[in-house]
Structure 1
Amino acid sequence: MSDNEKAQKKEEVDSNNTVENSAELNENQNTESTSNAVEPVVETNENKKEGESEDSSEAQDEMLNEIDESNAEDAEDEGNKDRHKIEVKEYDTMSLEALAIELERLLETEKVQAIRDHVNGINNEFKLKLQAIIDEKKEDFINDGGNEIDFYYTSPVQKRYKEAYKLYRTKLNNHYQSLEKNLKQNLEDKLEIIEELKGLINVEENINTTYKNFKDLQERWRKTGPIPRDKYNNAWNSYHHHVELFYDFLHLNRDLRDLDFKHNLEKKLLIIERAEELAKDNNVMRAFRELQELHKMWKEELGPVGMEHREAIWERFKAATKIINDKRHSYYQEIDKVYEKNLEKKLEIIAEIETISAQGAKSHGGIQKKIKQVEALREAFFNAGKVPLKVNEATWAKFKEAVRTFNRQKNSFYKDLKKEQFKNLQLKLDLIKTAEDNKDSDDFDTVTPLMKKIQSEWKKIGHVPRKDSDKIWKQFKAACNYYFDRIHAKRNAASAEQTEAYNKKNELLNSLKTLELPTNKDAGIEAIKEQIKAWQALGRVPQDKRYVDGKFQKSIDQLLATLDLDKNESEIIKYENKLEVLNAADDDNRNLDNERVFIRKKIDEVKSQINQLENNLQFFTNVEDDNPLVKEVHNNIKIHEESLELWKTKLKKIKNLY
C-alpha cells in the first residue's frame, strides 16, 4: 500500500472512530474494551446483572480504578514500583539524628524516585520534632531575659539533615528532568504505534504479512518505556481499541485470530490461577502488590480471548481480586484499631504530663524528679506508635502544649530560683571580702572567731548560680586557708619555743634542789625572787607540760620555809610569783581581771564574816571577857582581820600591774 493510500485509509478510520467505538460497546458489552477499567467495559446501570446493587458495582469500579491508578503511577516511572519493597519505618518513634541517618541511607541504597513517600514521612516528623525543640529553647531564652528578636538556634543534626534533604531534592529534580524527556519521546513513539495499527486495517497485502506486522507493533509497544501518567489510560485505551479492531479485521483469517485467542486465554488462565493462590496468602500487602502486577500484565501484555470465554474469565479474575482487596481493607481496619489504641495511650501520656504540671514543685530536687518523669513520658509518647491520620496533628498539638506548659512552670521555678541564687551569691561575695580583708591580720584572738563565724555562715547560705559556684568557693577557701595556715605556722614556731622553755625550766628546777640560800633573811628572799624572775624569763611551756609550774611553786615554798618568815610575808612572795605568771599570759589581762574580781569577792566575804562575828559578840554583853566562847569569837575576828589585810595587800599588788 502506498503512503497516500495509507493516509487515506487513516482518515477513514479516524472519521469512523466514534461510530466504531459506540458500535463496539453496544454490540459487545462484555468485551475487553474499556475506559478507565482493567478488562471489560464498565457496566452501566442498564447492563448490571440481576441482583447486583449499585453500591456493589461502584465499589468494584473503585477497587479496579485504585489498581489502575497505582499501575499508571508505576508505568510513568518504572522505578516507582520498587517503593513497595522498601520498608516504611516508624518514623514518629525516631530521634532527629536517627531520622537524618535513615534519610542518608535511603539516598545511598535506593532509587530516588522510589523513596518519595518515605522521605515525606521522614521530613514531616523531622520538622515537627525540630520545631518542638526550637519552641522550647526559645521559651527558655525569653525566660532567661533574652529578647525574642535575638533568638537563634541551630544544631549539627539540623545541618546534617538539611544537606541530605537538599541532595534528595537535587537528585529527584535531575531524575525527573531526564525522565520528562523520555516520557515525551515514549508517548510520541506509542502514538506512532497506534497510528501504524490503524494502518493495518483493510491493507491489501498477504494476511500473514499483516499479522506479522501486527505482532511486531505489539512487541514495540511492550518495549517502549513509560509515558506521562495523565496520558496512560487514554493511550492504552486507544491502543487496546485498535488492537480489537485489528482482531475484528482478522475474521477473514480465523485461524490466526483463534491461535492468538488461545494463547491469550492460556496466559490469562495462569494469571487467574496465580490471583486465586494470592487470595489465600496471609501476607495481605504482598498479595495486593503482586495483584497489581497481574492486572498490569492482563491489561498491557495480553490481548483479547474468544467471545465465549471473555465474561467468565474476567468474572473469575475479578472475584479473586475482590477477595484480596477485601482482605486488604480488613487489614487496614485492624491497623485502624491499633492506631485507636495508640491514640488512647498517647492521650493518657498527655494527661499524665498535665497532672505533673498541675502538682507543681517547691524544690530543685522536686523539679528535677519531675523533669525526669516528663522526659520518660516524652519517650513513651514517641514510642507509642501511629494514631489515626485525622487526629494526628491535633494529638501532636495537644502533646506539645502539655510539654510547653510544664516547661513554662519549670522555667518560672528556675527564674525565681535564680533570683534567690543571685541573692545568695551577693551574700557569699560579702563573706569573701571579709575573709580577704582579714587574712593577713596578726590579731589572731579577734580574727580567728570571726573567720570561724563566716565559715559557719557560708554553710548556711543556699545555692548560687552554677557558673559561679566553683569560682567563689575556691576564692573563699583560699582566703580562709591562707589565714589558718599563718596561725598554724605561728603555732608551730611557738611550739618549738615552748619545748625549749620546758627543757630549760627543767634544768632550773633541778638546780633548785641544790640551791643554798644566804643565811640573811633579806638576802635569802632576794635570792628566791631572782629564781622566780629567771623562771618567768624562760617563757611559756606546752599546754601538756604546764605541770612543771606547779613543781616550781612547790620548790619555792620549800625554799621559803627555810627562811624565818611569817605566814603573810611568805604568802605575798608566792602571790607575786603567781601574778607574774598571770601577767605573762597572752590573754589581754583577762586572767588578771578575773583574779582581781576574785580578790574583791574574798575581801567582801571576809568583811561579812567579821561583821557577823562582831554581831555575835552583842549576845555576850553580860558575859566576862575571859569567857571561852567570847575569847573564841575575838580570836576568830583577829584571824579574819589578818586575812583581810592579806587580801587587801594582794589587791594592791594587782592594781600596781595595770
Structure 2
Amino acid sequence: METKDQTNQNPEEKIIKSQGENSQSVENADIKKETDTALPVEEQGAEDVGELDEGTETPSQELKNEKDTVEVNAAVPDTPEEKTELQPEAVEETAPEEKEEEIVAEEAEVEPEADEGEKPVDKEEDKGMPETSSDKSVEAEKEVKKVVVDKEPQKNVDLVGGSEPENIEGEDDQEEVDEEDSDEVPIESKPEIKYDELSRDKLVEMLESTVNEGEVQQIKSQVAQIKVAYLKIKKKVEEQEIANKVEPVEGEVEKEPETDPLELRFNEAFNIYRKKRKQYLNEQERIKQANLEAKKVILEELKALIDSEESLRKTYDEFKVLQERWKEVGMVPKEELNNLWQSYHFFVEKFFDKVKINRELRDLDMKKNMEAKLTLCEKAEELLIENSILKSFKDLQKLHDKWREVGPVPQDKRDELWDRFKSTTDKINQRRHEHYLKFQEEQKSNLMAKTALCEKAEELVAKENTSIKHWQLNTAEITDLLKVWKTLGPAPRKQNDEIWERFKSSLDSFFSVKKEYFQKIKDEQQNNYNLKLDLCTQAEAIKSDTDWRKTTADLIKLQKEWKEIGPVPRKHSDKIWKRFRAACDEFFNNKSEFFANIGKHEIDNQKLKEELIEKVKSFAFEGNDKNKNLEVLKGFQREWTNIGHVPIKEKNRLQNELREAVNIRLDELKISQAEMQSASYRQRMENIKDKPDSRRILYNERNFLSNKRNKLIEEIGLWENNLGFFAESKKANLLKEEFEKKINKAKGELELLKAKIKFLDKQGD
C-alpha cells in the first residue's frame, strides 16, 4: 500500500546510508523516489544542548510543513560587578511550503559569567498517519487484527544546564553543559540546602564530599549550586575589603595577598568532578556505538519479517517483539539518528501495508490524541497568567515535549490544533522577549549612572587634602559614591568590567594616599587611648560611692572629658568604651535603686492620682477644637507624672485606671491613628519614670532614637548630594525622581524622630 506522504515513498537511499553499501534493497518497484528529508537538529552553541536519545527520533513523514524557530538564551545578572549580557532573540526562518512552527528549547540563564548558547531547534511532529491510496486496501484493513505502532518518542531537550557559574582557573564552561544531560539520573528527594547561607569552609567541604562520594550523573546540579554560592561569597569578600578601607587605617604595613588554601581546595575538588564527568561521557559514547549496531540488527530482522510468508498472528507477535527491542535500546550517535529513524519508519509502514492495520483503530487513536492535544492547548493558555516569566517558559517547554509524545490527530483538526498551540507559544515568547529588552534598557541606564559616578570619584582623587576634616569630608563623599554604586544594577556585559575597573582605580588611589596620611596620626590615637584608660580608672574608683550628689557631679565631669578626648585605635575603641560605660551605669543604677525605695508621701500621692483620674473622666471638652482638648489631656498626664510615687500594691491599678480613662476620652475626640500613637508614646515614656531604672531606660531610648535620626540624616544627605551626579545624564529626570521619593519619605520619618527626642529631652530636664 502506497502512502500519500512523499517523505516516506522511497527511503531505500536512507537504508543504504545507515546500513552500508552491502545492505539489501527493499523490494518495492512501485515506490517513487523519496525526497531526502533530514531531521534538522542544529546546535547553536556548545552549551545547553540536550542529547537526543531513542525517544527523540522523529518520523520523516511528520517533518513537512514545519517552521524552525531559534531563540538565544539571555543571561540574568546577579551582582553589579558580574558580567551580564543579553543577546537578541533569533529570527524565525520559514520554508515556502511550511505551515506549522515549533518552539525553541531555550532557557534563561540565572547566573553571571556563564557562556550563552542556543537551544536546538525542535520540529512539529503531528502530521498525521499516512492515507491509503485505494478503497480496496481500506476494505482489506478491516479484516486485520489490531496492531499498535510505536508511539513516536519524545525529544528530550535539556532544560537544566543553563546556569553554570563563572570560570575557575581557566575552566571551560562548555564542558559542564553537554549533550549527555539527558542521561542525568534522578536522585532521592532530600531536604533543600540553602547554599547561600553556608560559609566558604562548609561549601568547600560539601564540594569535596560530593565529588568523592556521589555519582557524576547525579551531582551536577548540586555541584553547580555549590559553585555559585562559593563565587558569591568570594565576590562579597572582595567588596568588603574595599569598604573597610573607608575607616582610618591603624598603620600596619600592607602585606602582599597570600594564596587562599580554600581556593586551592575548591579548584582541586572541581577538577576531580570534571575528570569524572569526562570519563562518564566517554563511556556513554561507547554505549551509543553499541546501541547503533543493535538497532541495525533489528532493522535487518524487521526487513526479513516483512518478506516472510508466515501467518498473520505469528508475524504480528514477532513484530511486537522487535518493537519492544527497539524501544529498549538506548541512545545512538546523533549523526546516525535521522537515517536510523527513517529506515525504521519505512519498515514499519511497509509492515502496516503487509498486515493491513484496521483503519478504525487508527481513527480511535487519532481521537484520543486530539483530546490529549486539546488538554495541552488549555494548559499552555493557563501559562499566560503566570507571573513568573521563567517558570511559564519552562512549563511551556515541558508541554512541547508532551506534544511531541502525542501521536497524529485527524487531518481536518491538525492545523487548527497546532495554530492554537503555537499562538499561545508566540505570546509567551513575546512576553519573555519584551522582558529582556526592558532589562537591556536598564543596563544602559546603569552604565550612564556609573559613568557619572566615575567622573565624580576622579574629581575627589584630584583634590588635595591638608587636614583630617578634609579627609573625613572627602572620605564621606567617596563612600557615598560607593554606596550609590552598589544600589545600581549591572551595566551591559561588554562595558561592565571596564566601568568597574575605572571606578575601582579611583577608589584605590584615594585610599592609598589616605593611608599614608593617617599613618602620621597613629601616635596621637595611642595617646588618646592612654588618657581614656585613666578616665576608666577614675570612674571605677568612685562607682561604689554613696555620696550621690558629689559622685554624680564627678562622673558627669569625667563623661565630658571623655567626649573632649579624640579617637583611639579602632581595635581598642569598643572595649574601652564598654568599660567606661559599665562603671557609670553601675553607679547610676545603684542611685536609682536607692531613691526608688523612698516613699514618704505615697499615701497622699495615691489620693491625688485617684482625684486626677476622676478629673479626667468628668472633664468637659471645650468646643470642637481637637488640638486644644488633646493638650488638656496631655496636661493631665504631665500632672500625673509630677505627683510622684504611690504604694507599690496600688501602682498598677491606678495606672490602668488612668490609661483606660485617657483612652476613652481620646476615642471621644476621634483623633487620627498617628495622633493616638504620638500620645501613647508620650504616655508610655512618662510612665517609665515610676520605674526604679527609669533613667537608664530613657537614656537607652534616646540613644536609639538619636542613632536612627543620624542615620536618616546621613541617608538624606547622601541622596540629595547624589542628585547632582546625574545632572549631565540623559536619564537624569528618571534618576532624580527615584531619589526624591526616597528623600521625601525619609524626611517624614525624621520629623517624627525629632519630636520624640525633643520630648525625651524635656523629660530629662
Shorter-normalised TM range: 0.3 to 0.5
RCO greater where, 1 or 2, for CA within 8 Å and sep 6 or more? Answer: 2
| Larger CA Rg, structure 1 vs 2 | 1
Please give the TM-score of this superposition, normalised by the length of structure 2: 0.40
Structure (1 or 2) with the greater helix fraction: 1
